[in-house]
Structure 1
Amino acid sequence: MTEAPAPHLPPRFEIAPHSGERLAYLAVDGRGEGPTLVWLGGFRSDMRGTKAEVLSALCEREGLGFLRFDYSGHGESEGRFEDGTISGWTEDAAAVIAARTKGSLVLVGSSMGAWIALRLAQRLPSRVAALLLLAPAPDFTSRLVEPKLTAEDRAALQRDGFIAEPSPYSDQPTLYTRKLIEDGARAAVMTGPIALDVPVHVIQGMEDPDVPYGHALELVSLLPSAGVTLTLVKDGDHRLSRPEDLARMERAALALARESRPPRL
């Protein structure tokens, strides 16, 4: 059951050791032995989006811990967006997780957040119990952005260090920096089989204009065959924020959380 978003809560802040920047976060304390769900948002998104609010309400009802935060340069966190990279935002996530969670984790990654979730799962194998990936966009810089660059775009990246494109989601243009693209190549995860030993559920819209569903199919082909579920939503878009999409996300998140709870003695 999907509930209306909760009232606006003031953020808390955690200092990122690697940068010294204040990272805004919100947390729900869990009750009992269940895992903590961690929301990993997308490129230029923030922790107060519809999907994160719905998951927060779900965790409140179910007694599960929930952590959401803004990467540097996003939302209410410090830093400049144009200075950000996949590696830096992964460090942000690792810092907030280390400071604000204990025990097992279910990582819920949306779009770019799925890339960061995969990197964290490889980095924290003893803690990550499951992954829920929504419209996943790992390696989007090299696989989705770079192939579309024109000669003029490439010249602008070398000359100015960035390009700006109109955004369908904001009145502000989307910036892609040379730093982001170069770091993305170094941080790539879809270069071969992805070694994970946890359940993974991928939900992908087939009408997604930003991340073609073929990208999700390729990702699934690189994941271990056991414990991987792919849900294709025939009329789903990139946001996956319609009521039926949110309910589907809730069911998947709760199933993964229940599956990853330690057995009762």
Structure 2
Amino acid sequence: MASKEITASGFVSVSKDITESIKKIVDKSSIKFVHGIKLDTKSGKTEDRILVLTTWRLYFLAPKTPAKVENTFNFLEIRALNSQPEHQVIIDTDKSSYSLRFESREHLNHVVSHINFALSRIFNNSIFAPSICHSDSDLSEGSRKYSPSSETSVETQRACGGFSETYSALCDYNGISCKEEVQWDVDTIYHSQDNREFNLLDFSHLESRDLAVIVASMAYNTWFTKLYCKDLRIGSEVTEQVLHTVSKSSSLEEITLENAG
């Protein structure tokens, strides 16, 4: 186990060995941020940790090798993110609360910006998008500009309204593998044909849970206006997601479920 290195301001430094060890357990292509932080524990102590941000997820790791994930959660699990003075932030999730302090305001701004921007990509600026970020007056405009409610935070030209990004995030949230064939078909075939009708039969070979996530991804999508399924038996979890999608979608105009029960 390598000894941890400390910066002049008292924060753990992420060495090359630790970085390489992290890349062995976290998809390196998705890593967006790796820095040492101070994490408050339940016993009232403050301990060194390494915070890793990926596209849709946050990780806490001990500052040692081999790297080991202590806690992790998808951004969709966050219920509140409150910025405090002295570069501190409190993150409340479905299961727990985390109080952490960053080495600099820049690091704090980066994390808040990334989380809010990621959520804006998932929800496509829907009115149902959560507004989780609450900050002290010192938080920079750079951290606010990616609010999910901002009309300018997400470009409108993403393939099929950014379906693939929402799908990827929900796969991560549900702990299932993201099927590249789904993303490719939507981004390439559906988009090139300007096809606004999503046909579940195109993915009839996938398991019910995969279909449920696909349907859930349409809840905040503004590209697709129709959902079609005929002569394909879908499970209760898919049916539940259809009902959820109907209740949230502002774009779906027609749903066909024929001989699907």
Q: TM-score range by the shorter chain?
A: under 0.3
Scaled by the length of structure 2, what TM-score is found?
Answer: 0.27
TM-score (norm. length: structure 1): 0.26
- Compare the two structures and name the one with the higher strand fraction: 2
Higher relative contact order (Cα pairs below 8 Å, separated by 6+ residues): 1
